[in-house]
Amino acid sequence: MSDSTEDPYGTVRNAVVLVRDGLIDWVGAASDAPEGVIASAREDIDLGGGWVTPGLIDAHTHLVFGGTRAGEWERRLGGASYEDIARAGGGILSTVRATRSASLDDLVLGARSRLETMIDFGTTTVEIKSGYGLEPEAELRMLEAARTLGNTGVSVSTTLLGAHALPPEFQGDRAGYIDLVCDEMIPRAADGLADAVDAFCEGIGFTPEECTRVLEAGAAHGLAGRLHADQLSDLEGAALAARMGARSADHLEYTNEAGAEAMAAAGCAAVLLPGAFYFLQETRKPPIEAFREYGVPLVVATDSNPGSSPTTHPLVAMNQACVLFGLTPAEALAGMTRLAGPVLGLDDRGVIEAGRRADLACWAVGSPAELSYWMGGTPAMAVIADGRRLR
Ligand code: DI6
Ligand code: FE
């Protein structure tokens, strides 16, 4: 055990982790192991002095989609703004066109290769949103593709994001589209395909009133709430998420202090998505100091998506959270482990202690700060999910 009570990582040196039936059975310094613990192991994995962390939990991704948006990105590099492109029918809607025309197999195949990279880099739990179908069949197909990815060995948590953008066939009938989300998509998705519901509260997305309807309908069907809030402007989405009892508000660049205070009071976590901030070359940063002051849990995720955060690298998100938002490397690691599970309602993982799920990643680094220090780093030496070795 580390001597220092200051150690934010809870370091245990020369450690042994005993895994049984998918759970951590015992963890501690090898010299403290009760008699028989080490001898009782049927299989022995020598991690050669590497650092072991909980398997990473990526609590916000849009991993399932058709096509890419490299062309749009080139236009943005030439000066066009993300919002201008969206208002001209590009952006999210261009991914919607590609996703609607993709089969279930196409969606699984594309997402699987991205997920395999995430697993290489230690991810053992991933949240995946719909939101590029914007019609019932296509939204449900996305969720089915996400569920199918559970066969990689990682845990997949799914979120219905029907209220991501207004589809072209509903231009001029916003209320009609929200009706479709609430009256058809949510009830059907809640029947085993989705664990949560989310909405994009933004000028180019949906109004606070529209998002309220979506979160209320989700709650009525037993779905936990999430909210894309205050990413590009301050619509007081953070306070809305708190008021609705959402598990998290996500992005939060424009969140004001009252929003941070409301989140803390409601136990609503802040999911920071520095990849989108970086890729959209935003300048306004989330109010990290206010979140710390009020005690809002700081979660870090990739936001992996084709438009604003085309990445499959959890360690890059951790690096960006430190460099761009000022998190400490220990906060970034906690944001992708211990604090991320509860956002998905998964309290059984994210910490290496007896009784938790045996989701582990082993790294060839000299200190845990190196996980955030390298801009991407190298793949994990070993990745274990539910007690099973994936890498
Ligand atoms: N905000 C985001 O950053 C993603 N969705 C959202 O509401 C990006 C979606 C995209 O551009 O495809
Ligand atoms: Fe997102």
> pLDDT class for 17, splitting at 50, 70, 90?
very high
Residues in the chain: 391
CATH entry, 15-52+358-389, from 3.90.1570.30, 2.10.109.10, 3.30.1370.110, 2.30.40.10: 2.30.40.10
Among 305, 309, 311, 320, the mutation site with the greatest number of ligand 1 atoms within 8 A of its Cβ is 305
The pLDDT of 95-108, averaged and rounded, is 98
Residues whose beta carbon lies within 6 Å of some atom of ligand 1:
91-92, 95, 164, 200, 228, 231, 276, 303, 305-308
The pLDDT of 370-381, averaged and rounded, is 97
Instruction: Say how many Å lie between the CA of residue 372 and the centre of ligand 2.
Output: 21
Helix (H, G, I), strand (E, B) or coil at 226: strand
Q: What is the pTM of this model?
A: 0.97
Rounded to an integer, what distance in angstroms lies between the CA atom of residue 365 and that of residue 159? 34
Contact 357, 386 (CB under 8 A): yes
Class of domain 56-344: alpha beta
Rounded to an integer, what distance in angstroms lies between the CA atom of residue 324 and that of residue 29? 36
137-183 pLDDT, tens digit per residue, is: 999 999 999 999 999 999 999 999 999 999 999 999 999 999 999 99
Residue 36 pLDDT:
86
Helix (H, G, I), strand (E, B) or coil at 154: coil
Among 60, 73, 280, 308, the mutation site with the greatest number of ligand 1 atoms within 8 A of its Cβ is 308
Contact 44, 30 (CB under 8 A): no
pLDDT reading at 5 higher than 80: no
Residue 49 pLDDT:
86
247-273 pLDDT, tens digit per residue, is: 999 999 999 999 999 999 999 999 999
| Residue identifier of the C-alpha nearest atom 4 of ligand 1 | 308
Q: State the chain's mean pLDDT as an integer.
A: 96
Q: Could you give the strand order of the β-sheet that contains 360-363, starting from the edge strand earlier in sequence?
A: 51-54, 360-363, 382-385, 388-389
Q: Where are the domains of the chain?
A: 15-52+358-389, 56-344
